[in-house]
Amino acid sequence: DAKTTQPPSMDCAEGRAANLPCNHSTISGNEYVYWYRQIHSQGPQYIIHGLKNNETNEMASLIITEDRKSSTLILPHATLRDTAVYYCIVRARSDTGNQFYFGTGTSLTVIP
């Protein structure tokens, strides 16, 4: 069962930063926060993940609050190609299984 809450949709102007929020108020100490995106009818694409520290890679930044109950994915300069559904997922560290629970995600539309 999905353990995250995301707004169903958001708009962002091209060239501006897109800030996508995610609530995971029941997250456990050993659970990671993962972000994926899915462009229409393609396979989900991994973006970034983190445990408690903020993370940055070539695609995005992940800001996790100190209490770890929420996080924000930041796309610093959104382009039209960033239009997609963004999924926030929490996943426990486990050596006995590897499954992600995808919620309904946030549909981000980048506007020219």
Partner 1 sequence: KAGVTQTPRYLIKTRGQQVTLSCSPISGHRSVSWYQQTPGQGLQFLFEYFSETQRNKGNFPGRFSGRQFSNSRSEMNVSTLELGDSALYLCASSPHTGTGQETQYFGPGTRLLVL
Q: What is the contact surface with partner 1 in residues (CB under 8 A)?
A: 30, 32, 34, 36, 41-46, 49, 87, 91-104
Nearest residue (CB) to partner 1, 42 versus 112: 42
Please report how close the Cβ of residue 14 comes to partner 1 at its closest, in angstroms. Answer: 26
Nearest residue (CB) to partner 1, 49 versus 52: 49
Please report how close the Cβ of residue 82 comes to partner 1 at its closest, in angstroms. Answer: 18
Which residue carries 């958001």 as its tokens? 10
Q: CA–CA distance from 88 to each of 12, 55, 84, 111 (Å)? A: 18, 15, 13, 22
CA atoms of 21 and 92, how far apart (whole Å): 20
Please report how close the Cβ of residue 99 comes to partner 1 at its closest, in angstroms. Answer: 5
In three-state secondary structure terms, 81 is helix
**Angle formed at CA 111 by CA 105 and CA 112, multiple of 5 degrees:** 150
Nearest residue (CB) to partner 1, 14 versus 61: 61
